[in-house]
Amino acid sequence: MRQMKRLLDVYVALQALFALSWCFTDADPGPAVGSQSNGERFKIEGRAIVPGVKTQDWVSTARILVEGEEYVGFVKTDGSFAVNDVPSGSYVVEIVSPSFRFDPVRVDITSKGKMRARLVNYIKTSEVLRQPYPLQIRSSGPHTYFMKRETWGWTDFLMNPMVMMMVLPLLIIVLLPKVVNTNDPEMRKEMEQSMNMLNPNPELPDVSEFMTKLFSKGSSKAGGGNKGSRSVALKRR
């Protein structure tokens, strides 16, 4: 709680500058007082737009909620809406629809009935980023309620870096003996030498020896390679 307050203090200090630049009469705590002092009621107007969808397909399920369910409005068949009988104050106006997502907007109404709309910012509550008024609320697409299932496809599997790292050396192992004649004793000696040079510590188990042994044996590792990749698949599950 304490740290949040500290954060907020910083924000308050910051937005004092903002407040100066906007010569709007609505001070932060003002509107709620205004609503009590006079009983005048105002109307929040606007239009909801869902690009590419006919209005009749979504208007029957949409509602306009002002500050929770404190004031409720409905969408007309052309997408416009009006919420009547709202006293002065600051409200979050939200269009709720089970199928489309709309971003909420904060609407400030002064006691004289002057209106402005701004982006909702719950952290810097009095930061003003103006939005058009009457409201123009454009849907940002359908809701994404569902998580994607992790599907298993051969391409996903093959493009996996681990698999790539395993398959490439395997190919080299299988193909290299075909390119280089390993039965040639001179060649073998040369290779052994180069391998030994690469290996700085002779105490370690000799990889080259193992490899050359493997090369000389010819090819029965198709199964082995297969095995390796499958066990990876097992791990992935």
> Site residues (CB under 8 A) for other proteins?
1, 3-4, 7-8, 28-29, 32-33, 43, 55-56, 59-61, 63, 65, 67-72, 74-77, 81-82, 84-85, 90, 92, 94, 96, 98-99, 101, 120, 122-123, 125, 143-147, 149-150, 152, 220, 223-224, 226-227, 230, 233-234, 237
User: Which residue's entry shows tokens 């205004």?
Assistant: 34
The least distance separating other proteins from the CB of residue 224, rounded to whole angstroms, comes to 8
What is the nearest approach in angstroms of other proteins to the Cβ of residue 168? 21
Q: Which of 127, 58, 133 is closest to 99 using CA atoms? A: 58
DSSP label of 55: G
CB-wise, 143 or 189, nearer to other proteins?
Answer: 143
Residue carrying structure tokens 């509107």: 31
Tokens of 18: 């903002």
In the complex with other proteins, which residue's Cβ is closer, 32 or 159? 32
Nearer to other proteins, 213 or 227 (CB): 227
The least distance separating other proteins from the CB of residue 200, rounded to whole angstroms, comes to: 35
- Closer of 33 and 165 to other proteins (Cβ): 33
Can you tell me the distance from the alpha carbon of 236 to that of 148, in angstroms, rounded to the nearest whole number?
17
Q: Alpha-carbon distance 103 to 140, whole Å?
A: 8
Give the strand pairing for 41-49 and 135-138: parallel
For other proteins, the closer of residues 78 and 190 by Cβ is 78
Distance CA 154, CA 165 (A): 16
Give me the least distance between CB of 62 and other proteins, in Å please.
9
Q: Which residue has the tokens 């402005």?
A: 116
